[in-house]
A and B are shown apart, each in its own frame.
Chain A
Amino acid sequence: MKPPLFFCCLVLCLAGTSCERQEDLKREIAALDASFKKDEAAARQYEKDIAALGGKESLKRIVEQTQSKEAQLRPLEFVNAPRERKLSAIEADFAKLKPAAEAFKAAQPK
């Protein structure tokens, strides 16, 4: 092989290798760009969701509301159950007394 021809082949080889290295870099850049866009989109979506929930400032208000409602709820939780038991007991007693009372009234002369 003559030297100029060898030189041409060498140049072509170098050009091919450099193109390959550039392609690798481009692929890496494309992957990073996709990841960047995905993260940006996720951040935007989270910001939208946060706004839908009332914004970042709403956290304090929500926590305060929750505490206030829990304080209201606590005494109420202990009222219904004993009241239900009391009413059920009275209802049962009334169910026993009612027929006897009706019978007593019915037995009276008009």
Chain B
Amino acid sequence: MSEFRFSTFLKALLLFAAVLGGFDYLSKFDKLKTELAELKTQAETARENAELCRQDWTEIKTAKDKLDQVEARMAEIIRQRDLLDAKERKLSGEIKYLADSMTVAVEKTRLSAIGTVIPELRLPGRPALLNAKIFKINEDSISFLHEDGVANLHLNSDELPMEFAQKYDLGPKSIHKGLQGLMNGLSAPAASK
């Protein structure tokens, strides 16, 4: 078997190939390093840009969320106000109807009582009135004509028995006055706490 021998030509060729390969490697390596440096700059710029966009978005989103919250709160308050309006209208209608009908009933009752004669009207702490005839009924008093003259009995000073207060709806606790008070209360502005 013959021994392989490098000829001078082959040696030169090998050396040439090695030098060429070395150059190629260095050239490619430099190219890659340049590419890496450029990419690093671009990546840094892109990262900063993304961060700026994120900050802008966060700022706008926060402001928008706050606006949405305020709008939602406003919608809720307006909804509550509408409910209160409806409640007030309903209550006002009911109270007005009852107050009007009550006023008519009270006036009718008081009118029909004029001329009524009570044979013996017992009074707290004073002599009874005989043949006491009702001739006038006010909001807190009743005037009687009786055998001994005229008596104007007031509910406030406990001269008039309580049964009259209930029967003719007299005094500070009268129902129709209470209903009128509620009507006035409805039209008055609400006091804030």
Contacts and interface: CB of A to CB of B under 8 A. Distances in A.
Contacts of B87: 87, 91
B101 A43 contact: no
Contacts of B164: none
Nearest to B185: A90
The number of chain A residues touching the other chain, given as a range, is 35 or more
B182 A46 contact: no
A90 B182 CA distance: 6
B179 A97 contact: yes
A94 B95 contact: yes
A29 B42 CA distance: 12
Nearest to A58: B60
Contacts, number: 173
Query: Is chain A's binding surface mostly helix, strand, loop or mixed?
Result: helix
Interface in A8-43: 8, 11, 14-15, 18, 21-22, 25-26, 28-29, 32-33, 35-36, 39-40, 42-43
Contacts of B84: 80, 83-84, 87
Interface residues of B, number: 66
Contacts of B61: 49, 53
A36 B56 contact: no
B74 A73 contact: yes
B59 A78 contact: no
B36 interface: yes
Contact of B50 (A32, A42, A101): A42
Contacts of A94: 91, 94-95, 98, 179, 182
B67 A50 contact: no
A8 B21 CA distance: 13
A40 B42 CA distance: 10
A85 B77 contact: no
A39 to B, nearest CB: 4
A79 interface: yes
B182 A32 contact: no
Interface string B63-96: 1101100110110011011001001100100110
Contact of A50 (B33, B56, B186): B56
Contacts of B178: 93, 97
Contacts of B11: 4
Given A101-B102, A108-B108, A66 B175 contact: no
A25 B33 contact: yes
A32 B63 contact: no
Interface of B: 6, 11, 14, 18, 21-22, 25, 28-29, 32-33, 35-36, 39-40, 42-43, 46-47, 49-50, 53-54, 56-57, 59-61, 63-64, 66-67, 70-71, 73-74, 77-78, 80-81, 84, 87-88, 91, 94-95, 98, 101-102, 105-106, 108-109, 112, 169, 175-176, 178-179, 182, 185-186, 190-193
